[in-house]
Amino acid sequence: MDEKGINSGPLHGLWAVTNRELKKWYKEPFIFIISLVQPIIWIGLFGKAMNLGEIFSAGSLNIPGLDLPKQIIDSLSQEILKSTFGTTNYFSFLAVGMLSFIVLFSAMSSGMTIVWDRRLGFLNKMLTTPLSRGNVIMGKVLSSVIKALVQAVIVLLIAVLLGLTFSAQFTVFSLAITFFALFLLAMGLSSLFIMLAIRSTRWETQMAIMNLLNLPLLFASNAFYPVKFMPYWLKPIVMVNPLTYANNVARAMLIGVTPTASVAFSVLYLVGFAAIFSFIGIFLSWKYISS
Amino acid sequence: MTDSIIKVVGLTKIYNHTVLAVDHISFEVNRGEIFGLLGPNGAGKSTTIGMLNTLLKPTEGTALIDGIDVTKEPSNVRKIIGVVPQEYTADEDLTGWENVMLIADFYGISRDISRQRAKELLEMVGLTEASKRKVETYSGGMRRRLELAMGLINKPKVLFLDEPTLGLDVQTRTAIWEHIRKLKSEYNMTILVTTHYLEEADEFCDRIAIIDRGKIVKADTPENLKKGVGGDIITIQLTKDGKDVDQALKGIQGVTEVKNNGDGLITLKVIDGGAVAPAIIKAFTQMNLNVTRLTLARPTMDEVYMTYTGRNLREEQATSEETFTMRRTMRTARS
């Protein structure tokens, strides 16, 4: 059946779909830059303005009547920070949390592209070609993952410029593990949001879903603060949130915070998350992408 | 024996278990034919095309495209068809060239072949110059021609065109049809087209199927369809009122209907008017009546359409053009 020069393998067109999305992105540097502004603002506001290190130092902490030596207050506050965040540097703690933040926000918008493609008829156009239905979805997921990771790299570079200090054990290997975890997170989240958009024809619905989920997903994780001081009812939610595990891995690898769940378990959890959601995504797209 | 490339058997589509959009239609399209689907909005034209191009799953029945079943082997059907949908589907953020190459990649055509083809196709539709620009700068006619190039990249055996000239000015419409004709004559491509413009269907289609309420009410060549309406219309002006001529006129071979108000103006429906006209004049001469004027009018597609659907298509054109404008507005709002 196959003509010469025709590739009808199961993966044909996957890169074409992916690259189409990426082109729209890197050809519009304005959108690209805007998408980076948000996490940088958060790094600035939470990491620098809310300067926990300074708040707990001898300069601002003094108990009248008790003439405690400066040295004691200082070491006390260092201990408090250390036992709370696992590091004395809250800025580093937060900056690493911002990596999963940027991945989340980037992955969320992936659902929008499929809504637009449906509305403008491009999706139908794709579906009348021999392109596999699975590739329509995987191309979108893949482009979203690539975008998310590039943004994470830039956020990390900015955080380093602003004073993120790596742990003594930091190596290229730690960086690789971190980005592997972020890759899995991006993969699972993108699949999830594309899945939610698969039959949608209204971008308003998609926006509403994004707005409903973004902040809860972010705050019900350990991106800003550690899990151990959270109320009992929140903990189970935080412990299923994949963001928590990505943060665990990133913090352990980059700044040496001892994680609540081991790095190995966290990576496994993320592998499962990514595998299950991308599988369901492809499955649903076969079934429901057209009527 | 004619060689049919599209064979539709009892094709039916029911949406949400309630809305019967296409009701057991059957027809065949011959290889190398331009076959038109004509019908009012919501008649089931787009649904029919949707099922044939594998976008919609038929509820019942099936269709064969070059012998391949659309329900059993949709992915093989997709390889041999080209689709130019009603909407402008090209990606506005990409250039014309990038759009054509993107579709080529979807078909898995290797780069050296697709580059050559894309060049030829863009040349054919007159977009070589514009192909380096982003599609958002294109006019309606340019976009439509680009869609055509995109639909042809895999050298399809069957091309589906859904309202290819909707919302375009007359000049552009003619140009689009010239391209379609060229495809037929040069590549022996089979083209299934839906259109709102009756005169286009009349002029460019080899055969037309009139579809209404999900059913094909009539399918034939434009010539036969017009004949089928009752043939030509002859109007005669007499000097006298001519009240008692009806019987004599009805006796003439080929006359099917006589309308006589008794005021000297008589309208006849006849088959093959050119051949019947002399006999009519002769009959009046025998009755000693003077004919001062005789006009012969051939029926238009409007009348054909009116006869089979009971509706006037022109009234409906406005609404479809409104929809079209709305789509454009939405697209502009996006960027």
* CATH code, domain with B93: 3.40.50.300
In a domain, B307, yes or no: no
- Dist. CA A147–CA A145, nearest whole Å: 5
Residues B284 and B149 in one domain: no
- The residue out of B193, B211, B226 marking a domain boundary is B226
Q: How many helices (H) and strands (E) does chain A have?
A: 13, 0
- Dist. CA B328–CA A10, nearest whole Å: 35
Order the strands of the B4-15 sheet from edge to edge.
B19-30, B4-15, B60-65, B68-69
Confidence of residue B240 (pLDDT cuts 50, 70, 90): confident
Mean pLDDT for chain B? 85
CA distances from B260 to B267, B269, B274, B278 (A): 7, 12, 21, 19
Residues B121 and B270 in one domain: no
- pLDDT 10s digits, B11-60: 999 988 888 999 999 999 999 999 999 888 778 888 999 999 999 999 99
Nearest to B86 by CA among B327, B250, B251: B327
Q: What is the pLDDT of residue B159?
A: 94
In a domain, B303, yes or no: no
Q: What is the pLDDT of residue B161?
A: 92
Mean pLDDT throughout A17-42? Answer: 82
Secondary structure letter of residue A69 according to DSSP: -
pLDDT score of B311 more than 80 = no
In a domain, B213, yes or no: yes
In terms of residue numbers, what domain contains B274?
230-298
Which helix (H) or strand (E) covers residue A98, if one does? helix A90-108
Residues B164 and B18 in one domain: yes
Contacts of residue A290 in chain B, CB cutoff 8 Å?
55-57
In a domain, B304, yes or no: no
- The residue out of B226, B254, B288 marking a domain boundary is B226
* Tokens at B53, concatenated: 């191009």
Nearest to B294 by CA among B276, B306, B308: B276
- Integer Rg of chain A from CA: 22
- Dist. CA A109–CA B42, nearest whole Å: 35
Q: Are B90 and B105 in contact (CB under 8 A)?
A: no
Q: Is B85 near chain A, with CB under 8 Å?
A: yes
**Contact (CB<8Å) A1/B76:** yes
Confidence of residue B332 (pLDDT cuts 50, 70, 90): low
Q: Nearest CA of chain B to the CA of A114: how many Å? A: 13
Residues B16 and B135 in one domain: yes
**Contact (CB<8Å) A6/B109:** yes
Residues B239 and B255 in one domain: yes
Backbone angles phi, psi at A62, to 5 degrees: -150, 130
Q: Are A181 and A270 in contact (CB under 8 A)?
A: yes
Residues B219 and B291 in one domain: no
| DSSP codes of every residue in A145-178 | HHHHHHHHHHHHHHHHHTT----TT--HHHHHHH
- pLDDT 10s digits, A74-129: 787 778 777 778 777 788 888 898 899 889 988 888 888 888 888 888 988 999 99
In a domain, B257, yes or no: yes
Residue of chain A minimizing CA distance to B57: A291
Secondary structure letter of residue A229 according to DSSP: G
Q: What is the pLDDT of residue B334?
A: 47
- Dist. CA B153–CA B106, nearest whole Å: 10
| DSSP codes of every residue in B106-155 | HTTB-HHHHHHHHHHHHHHTT-TTGGGSBGGG--HHHHHHHHHHHHTTT-
pLDDT score of B102 more than 70 = yes
Q: At what angle do helices A133-161 and A172-197 cross, to 10 degrees?
A: 140
Residues B82 and B131 in one domain: yes
In a domain, B140, yes or no: yes
- pLDDT 10s digits, A212-241: 888 888 888 888 888 888 888 988 899 999
Q: Are B6 and B64 in contact (CB under 8 A)?
A: yes
- Dist. CA B13–CA A87, nearest whole Å: 64
Confidence of residue B286 (pLDDT cuts 50, 70, 90): confident
A169-177: long-range contacts, CB 8 A cutoff, minimum separation 24: A169/A256, A170/A253, A170/A254, A170/A256, A174/A253, A174/A254, A175/A253, A175/A254, A177/A249, A177/A253, A177/A263, A177/A267
Instruction: Among B55, B91, B110, select the one facing A128 at the smallest CB separation.
Output: B55
Instruction: Among A16, A119, A128, select the one facing B78 at the smallest CB separation.
Output: A128
B240 or A291, higher pLDDT? B240
Q: Nearest CA of chain B to the CA of A277: how many Å? A: 25
Instruction: Please report, in angstroms and rounded to a whole number, the separation of the first and last CA atoms in chain B.
Output: 53
Residues B82 and B195 in one domain: yes
Strand, helix or coil for residue B40: coil
In a domain, B319, yes or no: no
Residues B268 and B197 in one domain: no
Mean pLDDT throughout B140-165? Answer: 90
Q: Is B17 near chain A, with CB under 8 Å?
A: no
Q: Is B93 near chain A, with CB under 8 Å?
A: yes
In a domain, B326, yes or no: no
**Contact (CB<8Å) B113/A5:** yes
**Contact (CB<8Å) A24/B93:** yes
* Tokens at B73, concatenated: 């082997």
Q: Is B103 near chain A, with CB under 8 Å?
A: yes
**Contact (CB<8Å) A130/B75:** yes
Residues B278 and B199 in one domain: no
Q: What is the pLDDT of residue B137?
A: 93
Tell me the pairing of strands B34-38 and B190-195.
parallel
| DSSP codes of every residue in B304-331 | HHHHHHSS-HHHHHHHHHHHHHHHHHHH
- Dist. CA A4–CA A7, nearest whole Å: 8
Q: What is the tally of structural domains in chain B?
A: 2
